[in-house]
Every structure is written in structure tokens, then in C-alpha cells.
A and B are shown apart, each in its own frame.
Chain A
Amino acid sequence: MAATLSDEGPRGGALIFSASTLIGPATAIVALGVIGPLLILLRYSLNDFDPRLLMVEAFTAKNYVTFFTDAYYLGVFFTTVRVALICTAICLVLGFPLAYLLARTQTRFKNLLIIGVVIPLFVGNAVRAAGWMTLFGSRGFLSVTLMDLGITTEPTEIMFTELAVIIGIIAVNLPYMVLTLQSVLEGINRNLEEAAFSLGAAPVTMFVRVLWPLALPGIAAGTILTFILAMNAYATPVLLGGPEFRMMAPLVYSQFQLNNWPFAAAVAFLLMGTTLLLTIAASLATRQRFRG
């Protein structure tokens, strides 16, 4: 990294190394480990595939064309976007009140509550999917309880449906939304809310006119983060959606296992491209509104 460094003068503090010594190793690792591989993957996605010869060197858009002309793959694509949108919207609605209370509470239990939100984050998606599996199975808690209560007579089949996947992904993403919103809300001085109240704004008005616009950058960040995570979910759709249900990330892996690397690479790029595109669009839209 060519860095024209200018020390901050007298406040140079503890630094006696040049910028390139300090940031060089980390930058090199990430550049080598992310940008290089992605470029190779992009090149692969333009190759051809032959069932006998596997990957064949070529320069064709065939894989991308196949994806957008085949109803099955398009279906996978739209399922993924739909599931991601639904999950993100529900995460926002469910997450905001919890984030707000966590940000404003002054009880001793605040840390415990936050740890309660954080632990599931680190537990792994497969483990959490397993939790839903015990709940959703045809002889699981939910189905049996519904029958015991006489609400249903048949076992409820939620496993291996889109609903199960949506419920599972929301549980995975909700902590991210809550933590992002919480940190933003904590940065908004409570006096601003009180100022609005004292000027005659009822809670809903206060929310619309003060809290929402001020929290918007954080809301955008949380929404984008959960959206990305939902788009790229792997373990949850695999375990809760079953073999028939397909989202983009599992599709990449299954095509990879079928040895069709060029097509898998193309799907991977479409997944990443869509995610990035929608993310940029969302952040531009919120920025516009924030200025306006």
C-alpha cells in the first residue's frame, strides 16, 4: 500500500512505525484472501461445463443466461429475495421495541439481557435450526400441543416449508437487528425525546418526527445487515426447508458438489451482486430521505 504518511506532528504519540508496516500485513492478507479469490471465481463463472470433462476453459455468459431463463433457478432466486424481505421486515418490527428498551433501560439486568441476545448469535445456525426442528416436527411440541388443545386434529406440518425457514431465519437475524438498533438508539440523547414531548408531541408523533429520522442511519444499517444475512442463509434453509426447498446459498453448494463449478460460480456472483445492489439502493434511498 503506497502511503504518503504524515505523522500528526507533536501528537504522533506512540507510533514509530510507518503506515505500510502497520497496515501492510492485514491489508495483504485480506486483499489476497478476498479480492484475488473473487476475481478467480468471476473468471470461473465465465467458463463452460461439460459433464465428462467438467470445467472447460471458455469465455461465455452461458451460465448467467441459463440462470435467468430457467424457471427453476428463477424460482430459487425469487424465493430467496422474498424470504429475505419478509424476514427483514419482521426483524425490524420485532427488533425495534426490544432495542429501544435495551437502550433506555437502567436496570442492573441490562447486561444479562444483552448477553441473552448475544449468546444465540454465537451458538451457530445449525444448533438453532435444531431447536426449531424439535418444536416443529410432526410429533414435536407445537403439533402435539395444538392437537391436545383441540385446535387441530391433524399433525401440523411446518417442517420443510417456507414458513419454517422464515421463522428460523428471523430468529437467527433478530439479534443482529436488535444490537445494531440498540447502539444507535443509545447514541440519541433522551433529552431530544423529552424535548419533543414538552413541545406537545405525543409518543407516536415523537417517534415519527424525532426518533425515526435520527435513528434512520442505524435502522438502514441494521436492515441492510439482516437482509444480507437472510439472502445468504445456508444452514437454516438446508435444515428447516429440507431437500425440496431451495435458496441461493444452498444452490451454490449443491452445484459445487455436482462439480458444475462454472454454474456454481455464476450463482455465487449473482447472489453477491444482488445483495450488493439492493444494499446500495437501500442506503442511497435512506440517505436521500435523511437529507430531505
Chain B
Amino acid sequence: MARLELDGVSKHYGDFYAAREVTLDVAEGEFLVLLGPSGCGKTTTLRAIAGFVEPSAGTVRIGGKDVTRLPPWKRNTGLVFQNYALFPHLTVAQNVAFGLEMRKVSKADAATKVNEALRLVRLDHLGDRLPRQLSGGQQQRVALARALVFRPDVLLLDEPLSNLDAKLRNEVRVEIRSLQQRLGITTVMVTHDQEEALTMADRLVVMSEGKVRQVGSQRDLYERPADRFVAGFVGRSSFLEGHMSGDTLTTPGGLAIKCARKIAGEAVVALRPERVFVGTEPVTTADNSFPGEVEFVSYMGGLIDIHVRLSEHDQVIAQVPNHDGSVLPAVGDRVHVGWAPTSAVFPAEHNGMDG
């Protein structure tokens, strides 16, 4: 358990930057999630913390101590691999005991700790099995026990849930999170699954193209995305592009959209679907109200997505709750959509990859 700091960590291979000036400060006991599409640098960052990637620049500190030049085996981090990487020739108990053995813990002491760790993940009855005799979920828990048993300073999770089926994933999420909180262990998890990230993290880091795009709480990211990439990657957004002068953005399709923030030049507005109102009359409560035609309706049970075309160039998605007796618009219906000017707007050059 310790504070983890990354200060300007970069890693480049020739001209290619896998990570660029990554700066993070993870508090003791905090659960930080690195979120991003594949190739965004999140795994490189995790491996730099574990010691498998030597940063081209920057420092990594664990518990205030500079570990940038320390080899992996001297770092005291517990790493859970995506494919678990359980030693196939060792039993479950031997796998879990491995880290203790490396730390020269006495046999008797190790046996107790192994048992404790296996009980923590509810596998104490399977200590004598070989990894291949376990199910995917059980292997995952062994990997977790193996990484936790020696009380690492930092727990590192590399897409730990991606090899589990959907139902199991939800259970394990809760399990890992409560275990982490109970042990109060500083944790960094890498994932590309935003739902996973949102449900587990204390704080999230959104990365793309090797760079940190935004650091913040779930709410920060959703309500105040730093750029178009984050707005598209965390939650859903419809984007309307255009030219801004004063507080009005004019799209190529001729819509004049009022915004709360002023940006000179090309800009883009990001609309959360549930913040877009749909009605048969102009939306008088919102500053922005435009007529349009329903292009597509997708019925998802509790919620309904309505795709509305506002002009040749502009389309928005509105998400409405499926109340008792709601009348569903049909494709081709003329409707009005509206939204508040507080929706996020960014300069167009902040354009990341579309998530």
C-alpha cells in the first residue's frame, strides 16, 4: 500500500510514441482505471509501473521511492495478467506461494498466508489442483490471490476481466472492488470497457494515442469531457460540427446553435442523448430547438433511441424513457428536438479518434 506517482513518463520506439508525458498521482488505497481503446498507451503505462517497459523519459515513484530504474522483481507490485499467466506446472497453492517464496518467507508462514489468500478468493478447497483443471473464473481468482498474497505496494490489473463471460464479469467486478477496498490497496487497472471502468474506479484516466486525455471522477468525465474524444469514448454523444462566432455555432446544414462557452473558429458540440428532448411542438424550455425528421427508432426496453435528422449534414440521437403509455414516434414523423446551451463544446482541432 503506497502512493504511486508517474511523472512525465514517455516511451518511444523510434518515431512511434507508445506513451507521451504520462503524469499520474494515485493516492494510497485509490482504485485508478486507465481507460482507452487498444493502442492508446494504457498497457504501456501499466507495464512501465510494473517495470517491463523502461521509460524513455520520466520517473515512476512508488511510496515516494524512485523505482524507474528498478527491475520488475524488485518493485513489489502485484500484477494480474489478461491471460492470468498461471504457472501450468505448479499447483494453485504453489502458484500463490511463488511470490512469498521469492521474498524468503518461511514455509510455515507462507502456508498460512497462501491459505488466507485462497480463502479470500473462496478457493481454499482447490489448492492442490493444477491451473488447467480450473474454470476461467477460478483461474482469474487464483491470479488475483497470487498477486495479493505478498501485500504488494501496488496492485496492477491488465484487462483482468476480458477473458470472462458477461455474467461472471459482473460478479467478479464487484468482488475485486470490494476486496480492494477491504485491503485498502493502491490499484491501477487497465481496460477498454467503459462500463467496467465506471463501475470499479475511484478515478479514471482516459487515454488515446499515448496521451492522457483527461483525469477525473466518473461525473467529471461524463459531465465535463475535456475534448471530443472523451465525449465520444465515455458515454455516447452526438456531434454537431460548425463554425463558431460569439456564442453561436453555425453548422454547414444551417443550424444556429447557442452555446454556453465561446470558442472562435471551427468547433464541435457534443450532445448526450438523454439530454436531448423530443416533442411534437418546438421545445420552448430549451434555447436550442430545431425541427427534424425521425430517421430510425431503436426500442431497447426501458429506453428508446430516436435518431433525428435536422438537416442534410446534421443528425442527433435522443434517448427517451419508455414510460407507461408513451407514444413512440415512427420513422418519417416530423418532430422537434431541443437542448440546453450547457452542452459541451470543444474547438474542432481537439479532434481525437472517434470512440
Contacts and interface: CB of A to CB of B under 8 A. Distances in A.
Interface stretch (B36-44, B75-83, B120-128): B75-83
Size category of the B interface is 20 to 34
A194 B86 CA distance: 11
B99 A200 contact: yes
Interface string B257-279: 00000000000000000000000
B85 A202 contact: no
Contacts of B86: 195
B292 interface: no
Contact of A200 (B83, B85, B102, B156): B102
B89 A290 contact: yes
B72 interface: yes
B318 interface: no
B146 interface: yes
Nearest to A205: B102
Interface string A186-215: 000101101111111110011001100110
Contact of B150 (A197, A200, A205, A210): A200
Q: Which 8 A-B pairs have the closest CB atoms?
A: A200-B102, A199-B99, A191-B85, A195-B85, A197-B72, A198-B79, A213-B89, A197-B73
Contacts of A199: 73, 78, 98-99, 102, 146-147, 150
Interface string B45-65: 000001110000000000000
A194 B81 contact: yes
B87 A200 contact: no
Interface string B294-317: 000000000000000000000000
Contact of B50 (A189, A198, A214): A198
A192 B87 contact: yes
B332 to A, nearest CB: 48
B350 interface: no
Interface of B: 50-52, 71-79, 81, 83, 85-89, 98-99, 102-103, 146-147, 150, 156
Given A199-B146, A200-B99, A194 B73 contact: no
Contacts, number: 68
30 contacts: A189-B83, A189-B85, A191-B83, A191-B85, A192-B87, A194-B52, A195-B79, A195-B85, A196-B98, A197-B51, A197-B72, A198-B50, A198-B52, A198-B75, A198-B79, A198-B147, A199-B73, A199-B98, A199-B146, A200-B74, A200-B76, A200-B102, A201-B102, A205-B73, A205-B102, A206-B73, A209-B98, A210-B87, A214-B87, A290-B89
Contacts of B88: 192, 214
Nearest to B74: A200
A206 B71 CA distance: 13
B277 to A, nearest CB: 50
A195 B77 CA distance: 11
Contacts of A209: 98
B47 to A, nearest CB: 9
A202 B76 CA distance: 12
A160 to B, nearest CB: 46
Nearest to A188: B88
A10 B87 CA distance: 37
Interface string A44-60: 00000000000000000
Contacts of B98: 196, 199, 201, 209
Nearest to A192: B85
A78 B231 CA distance: 77
Given A194-B52, A197-B51, A198-B52, 17 more contacts: A189-B85, A191-B81, A191-B83, A194-B81, A195-B79, A195-B85, A197-B72, A198-B72, A198-B147, A199-B102, A199-B150, A200-B73, A200-B74, A201-B73, A201-B98, A201-B102, A202-B71
Contacts of A198: 50-52, 72-73, 75, 77-79, 147, 156
Given A191-B81, A205-B102, A197 B52 contact: yes
Contacts of A192: 85, 87-88
A212 to B, nearest CB: 10
A199 B146 CA distance: 8
- The residue in B78, B85, B87 that gathers the most chain A C-beta atoms within 10 A of its C-beta is B85
Contacts of B147: 198-199
A138 to B, nearest CB: 50
Contact of A197 (B71, B87, B89): B71
Nearest to B72: A197
A268 to B, nearest CB: 39
Contacts of A201: 73, 98, 102
A32 to B, nearest CB: 42
Contacts of B74: 200
A201 B101 CA distance: 9
- The residue in B76, B77, B102 that gathers the most chain A C-beta atoms within 10 A of its C-beta is B102
Interface in A233-260: none
B261 to A, nearest CB: 45
B81 A195 contact: yes
A196 B99 CA distance: 8
A46 B146 CA distance: 62
